[in-house]
Structure 1
């Protein structure tokens, strides 16, 4: 006969680690407050979390504020407290045990705003606590410009763009029929065309050759090596700034070119004109070929801006319309916004939120509006009235802040927070000087404004802590 063998038992190891996921201990065993009645948020914030955490003194409170925030954060997540602020802690003569159970606190948990279906790793009270405790303070913005340069023959026209700051730290400005460069990074030889600036050198790059054909717009490419120059007759030139040579000449517009924007690796140039058309020119061919002409506006094109991923082009016109174009459907607009009641020149894409577009209206509108281009919503998601003509908009690359420059009637430069739209700074550009032009420095700390034959340099945003740029394309992460 065959002996019966006992089947082997499965080996589970010598330790048993229970799974605590899904347990609702705070529902079954709620923790009672210090007294028999329900305690306030201040009492909950000041009670010790365990025997190792003693009641803080006044000196401990000043030195260990972060420890108090961490302690209150644990109470919110573990004990389901509802602490949203960190009060000033004072020594308490009484103490209590941590595990003292009472059913009176069950209602606090059941009536809380916390939802088990929330995607946040922490509840709403903890998020509010962190916002109050670690919110960055409003930085002080100097109301005095860093520099001021004379800019004779700088034209003041709402539909022109005559100032641009390159990634190589060179500021280009169109003065009359000439284009001048102000730079601190170039060792220029002395000749009759240049003079010493405040802390740098100024040199003339090009001249249109006729006072009847003044410069109407300029735009640097992303690398800061080539400068596009638009003129009153509709001619567009592309110059090599280092060699001071003309690279390309583009014909195609029948009226002045007031705005331009580079795209697709500095190989495509978008130009907007008074002829109500936007031309897309391929600079890789010689002569340059106009690949596409966008015609949807009924007024002069005042502003152009490509999205950070170069997939969408926003255009604003003197017809009070803001259009959004796609490179995949370039023959027609994909979005049209008509809430502005004046010419739209100020256009800026957010570098922090994919698809967020800001725009500003002229004197009859005086409003900054924000649009969600992802959902295709026809109405603005936020807006704020500025009580003056909105000339330019620019986002800070470091934080959710943006700057706006204004013309009639305040002539101010304003710094805002987003999404609260709280005004955190206000600079006076001069009693009679409209801040007609705006451009940002390569590091996103300073701006230059132009108006009334003067260029002013301001420090409006915080410095970049990490000088190294990330090579990741964060704009693809939605």
Structure 2
């Protein structure tokens, strides 16, 4: 009680602002309601750095600050309230609540004794707090919001129903520009013109690499599908059968599926004569604008301007599953490489939603309104994340964590709809294309998760302060 009264008198003598100086009690209770402990704690060492260094490291350290803030908050709860927190959630996840065990009973005197003894050379930290400080935390992954490369792409069409960009397994990018197809080597940055359809009075409406990366299929406005040997720069043959433009292509080993404005999906084996291997899949009532084979090569998903998402197998000429929940054209389709039978699809301007489907049970799963037209979807090869590109009205690129569906990153830079998306063969980078006639390359995914501990000023057992 004497110590409390002494503290009270010392603050009054120093001119501390008290609401009523004449009414003095026997206790001093500081007001901390408006204090932001996370910010105040991390301002301790802020002034030691120059303004230039602070500005450069502000973005890089923001996530570490959040993580340290959570750790500091947990430490206070352990020592003051006996919360018994031993583990902290990843600050990037949606649920940031602290996992705690039932608090032990503590008296106010034990709390006060800890503060009285704080002027000693060392403070005893309880076992659970020590475990909390020793526990490693994952290094926060930073996604650069600036593309690492930008290429000009003149005459890249601003047409939602076309697919004009693809990245091969041999690290070669194919782009359809007007009447020509160009190849860009990601290894040498060399650009080669593969073909020019102007002599045939035709134009390019889709491109697609074979799985081995040696052949590239070119869909045309007149309804042809040309097969080219990329290394030799030679057209091998042209497939007929469509009566309108071919806007979607999908390879499955040596089988090639093509979707057209004539509402048909043709599936052909490029090793055999077309008429012998052709399968005609009819199920859409308007233009087919999206085609993707599942990672196990068993199911084909197709999206159309009739707002339908259809799933086909190898044997049937009719869809085995039909999903009609989208309210606009379905171009964006992606099969998960991490969960068998999981399919994601995105709707156009009137829909704006990304939907997830369990094709093993034909059941819808989650639905998320993105706020803008969904143009493309692609899953990460290494983590349970996916990237989506968007058109009206925000023209952005979003990275999502699944199944929490929390937004990991938002990338902007295109001034038109981001209609085209392809992923590098190593699964780390993506390229996006838009009607602003640019191709932008982004590093969005990691091959492996970092096992290094993030640097924290709270790590008392690794660093001397």
Normalising by structure 2, what TM-score? 0.68
1:332 Cα deviation after fit: 1.3
Q: Equivalents in 2 of 1:419, 1:298: separation in Å?
A: 32
For 2:324 and 2:210, how far apart are their aligned partners in 1? 30
Choose which of 147, 150, 160 in structure 2 pairs with 1:148: 150
Deviations 1:351-374 (A, max 9, x none): 100000000000000000000101
Q: Tell me if structure 1 keeps the 8 A contact 2:173–2:186.
A: no
Which residue of the other structure, out of 190, 211, 214, is the alignment partner of 1:222? 211
| Structure 2: 5+ residue stretches without partners | 1-77, 88-98, 104-113, 115-122, 451-465
C-alpha distance in 2, partners of 1:268/1:174?
22
Q: Secondary structure at the match of 2:182?
A: strand
1:413–1:429 contact (8 Å) kept in structure 2: no
Map of 1:2-401 to 2, 5 A cutoff?
43=82, 45=84, 83=101, 136=138, 138-185=140-187, 200-210=189-199, 212-263=201-252, 265=253, 267-286=254-273, 289-328=276-315, 330-377=316-363, 380-401=364-385
Q: What secondary structure is seen at the aligned counterpart in 2 of 1:209? A: helix
Structure 2 Cα separation of the partners of residues 93 and 460 of structure 1: 40
Q: 1:138 to 1:373 in 2, by over 3 A?
A: farther
Displacement, 1:455?
0.6
Alignment of 1:461-476 (within 5 A): 461-464=445-448
**1:324, 1:335 within 8 Å by CA — same for their partners in 2?**
yes
Aligned counterpart for 1:443 among listed residues 418, 426, 431: 426
Say if 1:240 and 1:410 are closer, same or farther in 2 by CA, change over 3 A: same
- Say if 2:268 and 2:274, in contact at 8 Å, map to a contact too: no
Runs of 5+ in structure 1 lacking a partner? 1-38, 47-67, 70-80, 96-128, 187-199, 467-478
Residue equivalent to 1:75: none
- Give distance in 2, aligned partners of 1:311 and 1:228: 21
Tell me the matched-pair count.
Answer: 339
Contact 2:257–2:265 under 8 Å retained in 1: yes
Distance in 1, matches of 2:207 and 2:446, equals: 27
Instruction: Find the aligned partners of 2:303 and 2:326 in 1 and give their Cα distance.
Output: 10
Pairwise CA distance, 1:41: 13
Deviation of 1:291 (Å)? 2.2
Does the CA contact (< 8 Å) of 2:215 and 2:227 recur in 1?
yes
Deviation readout 1:244-295 (Å, 9 max, x if unpaired): 11112100000000000001x2x10000000000001111114564421000
CA contact (8 A) 2:79 2:126 kept: no
Look up the match of 1:417. Answer: 401
- Determine if contact 1:404/1:413 at 8 Å carries over to the other structure: yes
CA gap of 1:288–1:464, structure 2 versus 1, over 3 A, is farther
Inter-CA distance 93–384: structure 2 relative to 1 (3 Å threshold): closer
> Aligned partners of 1:166, 1:82: CA distance in 2, in Å?
48
- 1:38-75 CA-partner distances (Å, limit 9, x unpaired): x99985848xxxxxxxxxxxxxxxxxxxxx76xxxxxx
Q: Write the deviation string for residues 278-336 of structure 1: whole angstroms up to 9, x where unpaired.
A: 001111114564421000000100100000000000000000000011113x2111111
Structure with the largest fraction of helix: 2
Superposition TM-score, scaled by structure 1 size: 0.66
The structural deviation recorded for 1:82 is 7.4
CA–CA separation in structure 2 for the residues paired with 1:41 and 1:382? 41
Instruction: Judge conservation of contact 1:162–1:216 (CA < 8 Å) in 2.
Output: yes
Report the RMSD for the aligned CA atoms in angstroms.
2.8
SS at match of 1:381: strand
